[in-house]
Amino acid sequence: MTRDVSQEIMLYIEAGLTDVALSDKFKQSYEELQSTLSELVDGGILEPAPTLPVAPRKRTIKAQNLVADIKSGVSSGELMTMHGLSQNMLRNALKKLIQANKLYPSELSNELCGYLRSSPPERTREQTRFCLDFELHLSLKGSTESCGTILDISEKGLGVKGYTTRVSDVVSFEISHEDFIEIAPFSFEAECRWTKTEADPRDSLSGFRITAISDKDAEELRKLIQLLTL
């Protein structure tokens, strides 16, 4: 390659021509152009192009396989090993599966429920959902009869076993537990977001979003959640 050609190529490179435009200008194939550019680099005329970092392949988790392993009782350590997950990834996967109704809190072991109780520091308390490992009954407001048990609860909503209604229905609930002497009975309104009916109504599941609660009752709800974290 002559010096004049080298200088001409450099002028066009400095002008911003792409490799495709250079190939067309100098009637070279892409491979021939790369060879020409390599000669310019080797001769110290052209700076080598920076090596672009290769983005790591995004890990794909098959939700169906993960759900099957969780339901079969696989421990958290085995889940992380089998699916290549960190603790945070497992926590996020559990929450996403529950939000997508592919998994229900009642199907989690106590160990995995612990992953839902704990959350990264940047998450707010209102977003944290706590699984219960004991029976906490709730009733319809104005009734003393239990209508179901709470599976998980947060300041924004709750999961209920044994009570179902139509999606979008708003229900008035009351929570009272004789073992929690520090907490006064409190009530709130909640909208049904999803349901999963079973042959035995006692096994049916529902998810509710709290839509209305007084400041006083909200304080009692926060007390309950604080007790669950002890």
Count other Cβ atoms within 10 Å, centred on residue 70.
Answer: 21
Pick the residue with more confidence: 52 or 18?
A: 18
- pLDDT classification of 15: cutoffs 50, 70, 90: low
Kindly report which listed range (4-8, 137-141, 188-192) carries the lowest average pLDDT score. Answer: 4-8
d(CA 11, CA 227): 73
Q: What are phi and psi of 191, to 5 degrees?
A: -100, 130
> In a 10 Å sphere around its CB, with 0-12 CB exposed, 13-18 middle and 19+ buried, how is residue 165 labelled?
middle
Residue entry with tokens 């209102």: 126
User: Cβ-count burial of 140 within 10 angstroms (0-12 exposed, 13-18 middle, 19+ buried)?
Assistant: middle
Residue where the block lists tokens 């970092």: 53
pLDDT band at 109 (very low <50, low <70, confident <90, very high): confident
Residue, of 193 and 20, whose pLDDT is higher: 193
pLDDT at 57: 44
Q: What pLDDT shows up at residue 117?
A: 62
Residues 3, 119: Cα–Cα separation, whole Å: 65
DSSP 153: E
CA angle (55 as vertex; 54, 59 as ends), nearest 5:
140
Can you tell me the distance from the alpha carbon of 210 to that of 192, in angstroms, rounded to the nearest whole number?
A: 9
In this prediction, what percent of the chain has a pLDDT beyond 70?
Answer: 72
The residue with tokens 């006692």 is 202
Which residues is 196 bridged to in the sheet? 205
Rg (CA), the chain: 30
Q: What does the pLDDT average to over 171-186?
A: 83
Residue with token string 């060879």: 35
Q: Phi/psi of residue 71, each to 5°?
A: -65, -25
Q: In this predicted model, what pLDDT tens digit does every residue of 33-89 receive, in sequence order?
A: 777 777 777 777 666 655 434 434 444 557 788 888 888 888 787 787 677 777 777
pLDDT in tens, 119-174: 544 444 445 667 777 788 999 999 989 999 998 888 888 889 999 899 999 999 99
Question: What pLDDT, on the 0 to 100 scale, is given for residue 121?
Answer: 42
Would you say residue 188 has pLDDT above 90? yes
pLDDT given for residue 191 in this prediction:
94
